[in-house]
Structure 1
Amino acid sequence: MNLSYSSVIAYGCRYFAPPFKQLLSYTLLPPHHHHRRPSLLHSSFNNLNRFLTGNSLFFRMERFWSGSAIDKNKAMVEHLQRYGVITSKKVAEVMEKIDRALFVPDGTPPYVDTPMAIGYNATISAPHMHATCLQLLEENLQPGMRALDVGSGTGYLTACFALMVGPQGRAIGVEHIPELVASSIKNIEKSLAASLLKEGSLSVHVGDGRKGWPECAQYDAIHVGAAAPEIPQPLIDQLKPGGRMVIPVGNIFQDLKVVNKNLDGSISVRSETSVRYVPLTSRDAQLRGY
């Protein structure tokens, strides 16, 4: 696929980053801060969801995803592959098996590449962000490994992790809104990860994700689905030597950080791309909208 700068619109973007993956998740600003050309860009899903969390909105993909053409989970995955977002066969297989429609609110278009509000000032990220995080963590989601999903929300990514690590591994979701934990369990029970939930290799818990889930540490992979002002030390402590964490860090301006714990216990951190996520905060602050 060839992309020229002139064919790309990144919402709220103050700079161009040449590598394709840098276009995946530019920071999104509220509607009055972003500029677009209405004659070029139109989406039938034109509402605040696109400004919520973990989006990349560049022109060709947004134009492609708009409307109701994508009505099957497999078609969603195939189009993410076509646009170069998914390059891993394993990630494609897992995302095909875990139907996104089971994890989004009723009445919303499940396969459009946009985040969606799920209540309690929380969101489910856009499909391309799920694919990006799965690929960044793929080597640490091998059968038998342990994965932690902080801010597990609807349970979608936790279910994907569970399929990847298999029945001999462990996939743990942590979410501080009890109602979301209850609904995520129901979502998973309808998915192909249901047997793993029943057997106990997949579980979702009510808790403050900033503290991780020490009962099942250490983890080969940790994913954080909300932006922290800085990387929480408990999550670093619970990362296994040789493990990897993917976490958005920042306030107004956020970067998706890839945190590797080396075998000697030292930490290396790099920025993957710019993103916009809801904040990783306390339950009360989240419910108040802070």
Structure 2
Amino acid sequence: MVRPGFESCLLIGPALQWKFRKEVPFPCLSPVRMGGAVSAGEDNDELIDNLKEAHYIRSELVERAFRAIDRADYYLDEYRDNAYKDLAWRHGNIHLSAPCIYSEVMEALDLRPGLSFLNLGSGTGYLSTMVGLTLGPFGVNHGVELHPDVIQYAYRKLDCFIKTSDSFDKFEFCEPSFVVGNCLEIPPECRQYDRVYCGAGVQRDHEEYMKNLLKVGGILVLPLEEKLTKITRTGQSSWETKKIIAVSFAPLVLPKHNTNGKPRTVPLPIFEVRTLQELARISIRHALRVPTDSGEGQPRPRGSFGGGRGLGVGGLHKYGPRFKRRRVHRRHCNSVVLANKHVLRSSGIAYPLTPDSNNNSGEEEQGRAHRGAGEDEAAAEEEEDEEEEAERETGELLRVEPPVNVLRERVLCLPLPEPLKMYLLYYREK
């Protein structure tokens, strides 16, 4: 129960129901950062910019993952207008946590390509998909979700991401697998993971249960007794614990007893060994993604078409696709400096100073240059505003052309049968 005087909002997610406070004084933590503290953005990129400015997103790897996936794609169409607010969203059993919660979790997990990840309460699959971009094709990405309808929703969103998002072609991906069940019914003999996240409140009674899901050297992030906590397994029986932020979660949903008295178990997805066909597909896509000569004997810059295992090495775009509309007409830069008795402007034109500039005339000339620059900038702003107003009236606001999906174009140009091309593009039918 939230104490009087604290502002709270309700997040109800798969296999869990949990609350968190917007601002809760906690003596051992830096200022608490919770949902609603970040300004709303106009689109996904602006939301990420705000999260960075507020220091929720602190690493380039996490920033790339957030930019590569449009948060609005995981909303129902009628609620997309709220996607770029730093707030949780819920509709029935479907939920998304506040962006600041996901960013704190992603930072704490310290993900790297090739690791294994278990998401307890996987929900829409939004977090698991971001993790998959980071793990690369040789990682393991599993989720457990209580509600079957949410599993179906997650797989629909995953299929849409694979078939339509350019991020799938720009970064190598570890596809998540979800199973229905209660995360407290995982058999004790199950395989352990490098990274585990639990999205429900965990009491001390279940702390050891959660720790046993980790490999030595692994990281567990969970809300433990009203504090989002990072636990690192340093040895077979040694642990390091770090408190991240103060939160208030409803506890995990306890398992129901079977009528026959036997405990129910949740079979986790199996750790599949890659087939030769899958390895060939991964290798071909990677080879097509690697930089090649531009035709003039100069190698293509790595940032223009990079490959790699996961987001750690880069992609076609440094931060994945950017959906925000950018105006073509940019404001002119009119910064003025003095160098060798010439006034240099950003246009590259040098304006000579008068001969009497030995005394204070240089300062006067610089002042006049700055005033002139200010007038030019004001005129440019006025012109740009007039153009924008005219474009609004005609309904023809300028848009930047979307970047070319080079990997897809290269695959389609290969002299291969059409079904094989579709397999390389991952247009697969289940």
TM-score (norm 1): 0.70
The answer to whether the 8 A contact 1:173-1:203 is kept is yes
Structure 2 residues without counterparts, runs of 5 or longer: 1-5, 9-20, 257-430
Structure 1 distance, partners of 2:212, 2:139, is 20
Structure 2 distance, partners of 1:186, 1:106, is 14
Name which of 236, 261, 266 aligns with 2:238: 266
Cα drift, residue 210 of structure 1:
2.3
Per-residue Cα deviation, 1:175-202 (whole angstroms, up to 9, x for no partner): 010110110111112225878xxx9742
TM-align CA RMSD: 2.7
- Residue type at the aligned position of 1:85: Y
- Residue type at the aligned position of 1:247: L
The answer to whether the 8 A contact 2:139-2:174 is kept is no
Structure 1 distance, partners of 2:188, 2:135, is 19
| CA 166–136 in structure 1, closer or farther in 2 if over 3 Å, else same | same
Name which of 168, 173, 179 aligns with 2:138: 168
Name which of 94, 108, 115 aligns with 1:145: 115
Structure 1 residues without counterparts, runs of 5 or longer: 1-8, 26-54, 285-290
Structure 1 stretches of 4+ with a deviation exceeding 4 A read 9-14, 16-20, 192-195, 212-216
- Residue type at the aligned position of 2:246: S
Cα drift, residue 242 of structure 1:
0.2
DSSP-derived class of the 1:277 partner? coil
Per-residue Cα deviation, 1:117-142 (whole angstroms, up to 9, x for no partner): 1323x63210011001000012xx21
DSSP-derived class of the 1:90 partner? helix
1:93 to 2:64 alignment: yes
Per-residue Cα deviation, 1:97-155 (whole angstroms, up to 9, x for no partner): 122112223322111000111323x63210011001000012xx211100011001111
Structure 2 distance, partners of 1:205, 1:113, is 29
1:74 to 2:45 alignment: yes
The answer to whether the 8 A contact 1:244-1:261 is kept is yes
Cα drift, residue 216 of structure 1:
6.7
Structure 2 distance, partners of 1:174, 1:151, is 6
| CA 211–267 in structure 1, closer or farther in 2 if over 3 Å, else same | farther
Structure 2 distance, partners of 1:214, 1:112, is 39
Structure 1 distance, partners of 2:64, 2:187, is 28
TM-score (norm 2): 0.48
| CA 74–212 in structure 1, closer or farther in 2 if over 3 Å, else same | farther
Name which of 9, 32, 36 aligns with 1:23: 32
Q: What are the within-5 Å matches in structure 2 for residues 218-257 of structure 1?
A: 218-230=192-204, 231-250=206-225, 254-257=226-229
- Residue type at the aligned position of 1:111: Y
Structure 1 distance, partners of 2:168, 2:187, is 21
Instruction: State the identity %.
Output: 26
Name which of 83, 97, 114 aligns with 2:87: 114
Structure 2 distance, partners of 1:176, 1:280, is 11
- Residue type at the aligned position of 2:105: C
The answer to whether the 8 A contact 2:129-2:175 is kept is no
Structure 1 distance, partners of 2:188, 2:95, is 25
Cα drift, residue 274 of structure 1:
0.5
Name which of 242, 253, 265 aligns with 1:281: 253
Select the structure of larger CA radius of gyration.
Answer: 2
The answer to whether the 8 A contact 1:146-1:169 is kept is yes
Structure 2 distance, partners of 1:129, 1:255, is 12
- Residue type at the aligned position of 1:158: S
Q: How many residues align?
A: 228
| CA 15–99 in structure 1, closer or farther in 2 if over 3 Å, else same | same
Structure 2 distance, partners of 1:166, 1:277, is 31
Q: Which moved more, 1:101-110 or 1:206-215?
A: 206-215
The answer to whether the 8 A contact 1:212-1:238 is kept is no
The answer to whether the 8 A contact 1:150-1:210 is kept is no
| CA 123–229 in structure 1, closer or farther in 2 if over 3 Å, else same | farther
